[in-house]
Amino acid sequence: MKIVALSKNEFDEFAYRHKYSTYYQTSAYAETSRYEGLNTFYIGFVEKGTLVGVTLFLHKTFYLYYKYAYAPRGFLIDYTNPKLVRNVTMGLINLLKKQHYAFIKIDPPIICSEKDRHGNVIYFSNTINSILATLKRNGYKHQGFNKYFENYKPRLNAFVNLQDDLKVIYSKFDYQCKNIISSAVETGVEISLDTTGNIDELYKFTSLKNKNRKKRYYLGLYNNFSKNNAIDIFFINVNTDKYINNMKTLYDKESIINEDLASKVQDFNITGNEKQEIISLKMDSDKRLNYYKTELVYSTKLSKEHPDYITIGAAFTIKHNNGVELVIDSYIDEYKKFNPRYVLIWELIKKYKNEGFKYINLNAVVGDFNKENLGKYNDLNNIKLSFNASVIEYIGEFDLIINDHIYEKFLEKTGKK
């Protein structure tokens, strides 16, 4: 096997068509990584004059002159071919050892299983065990089938299939999910597509969720992926005029219902079970009326402070091949009562379904389906899975150790030892 350097175009042409193609293995992502101070290079694996695999490597010096190389979402090769895996591995060790690399990290999107929103297995790969054995046999150290966020990238992702009719897709949402979407729309939650590349405004929100990512990273993503119209930025707003008008309408309607029920409660001609049912309806109406009254007071205050609208969150997606990934969405905690994430996801589903994409990846979920164990991740799982998302479980993360002693230094420096 020969290992050759590739140009951006040579790399992208092969990578885009590969089975394991992701936006992480693109020249656009490589250029973005440079904004974070990472170095990059593209290589190809050639057998008998034919290019049989490629990879983007991100690399960085971490101890003296020693480096590590990371192939985001793994090499683009056929992992079911043991001979190919061996040749690629030996070739990389021979090449990178001379250049003072201590180890290589990969996390290929090889699917172990697919589970429904309740955690029931609906697909299990019949090749996953042999692939895992091949990688281990060639010196790759598996970081385990973890359920949380121990890896560079999440091992479990929630996917919504967009290939059904939109009405069918919607019909499969949880009942509560549909109600929350309706209620959130009533409170004026709206989604707007940014057309100006407003990274400053985006960063105001993303920095609330991920303080480690600097603004230059988002600037890099936009500058590189917008060249192919592959990135969309969204802002989540509350239309305060709509909010106050809807709450006033709902309050007025409920007042009429409540007054009618109050008169029936006082009607001595109504007795027995019928009376008890009316009293029960009146109590429910009282609760709704109090809720609308509270919302009316709050919406009035909000409308005075923010005429027209207030932006309460932001998100962006990256489009790649026939799918879309929700990379990050973030909201001001004070306004999470509006349930903006529900409206965002529903609007994304409608938009990308209409644009012909086959799926949307809502990104990370926790691999524990017992709600009692989820703790702070309860909303993360419940919201995403309520859209009838299935959970794709990937094989996980591997380290190919080239220099044992220096690899131990890396573990010490990163607190993983």
- Residue at 388 is within a domain: no
Q: Do 311 and 172 share a structural domain? A: yes
Q: What is the residue range of 36's domain?
A: 2-107+397-414
- Phi, psi for 212 (deg, rounded to 5): -80, -20
Statement to judge: residues 271 and 326 lie in one domain: yes
Q: What string of DSSP letters covers 200-218?
A: HHHHHHHHHH-TTS-HHHH
Q: Does residue 171 sit in the same domain as residue 49?
A: no
Strand order, beta sheet including 50-63: 2-5, 39-47, 50-63, 66-71, 101-106, 398-401, 140-142
For residues 81 and 270, which has the higher predicted lDDT (pLDDT)?
A: 81
Is position 322 within any domain? yes
User: Are 256 and 197 in the same domain?
Assistant: yes
For the chain, what percent of residues have pLDDT higher than 70? 100
Q: Are residues 211 and 317 located together in one domain of the fold? A: yes
In the chain, how many domains are there?
A: 2
For the residues 97-124, what does the mean pLDDT come to?
A: 95
Residue 368: per-residue pLDDT: 82
Reading the block at residue 331, the tokens are 């909201």
Please, what is the average pLDDT of the chain? 95
Q: Is residue 366 part of a domain?
A: no
Residue 373 has pLDDT above 80, yes or no: no
Q: What is the mean pLDDT of residues 77-103?
A: 97
Statement to judge: residues 197 and 326 lie in one domain: yes
CATH classification of the domain holding 196: 3.40.630.30
Tokens of 367: 């691999």
pLDDT band at 417 (very low <50, low <70, confident <90, very high): low
Query: Beta strands of 332-383 (E only): which ranges?
Result: 359-364
d(CA 275, CA 286): 16
In this structure, are 103 and 185 located in the same domain?
A: no
The pair of structure tokens assigned to 255 is: 């007042």
In a domain, 338, yes or no: yes
> Is the domain of 228 the same as that of 345?
yes
Q: Write b or e for each residue in 394-408: b if 16 or more Cβ atoms lie within 10 A of its Cβ, otherwise e.
A: bbbbbbbbbbeebbe
Residues 343, 403, single domain; the answer is: no
Residue 237 belongs to a domain: yes
Q: pLDDT tens-digit profile of 35-55?
A: 888 999 999 999 999 999 999
pTM: 0.93
Query: Token pair of 258, please?
Result: 């409540």
Look-up of token digits 């590189």: 224
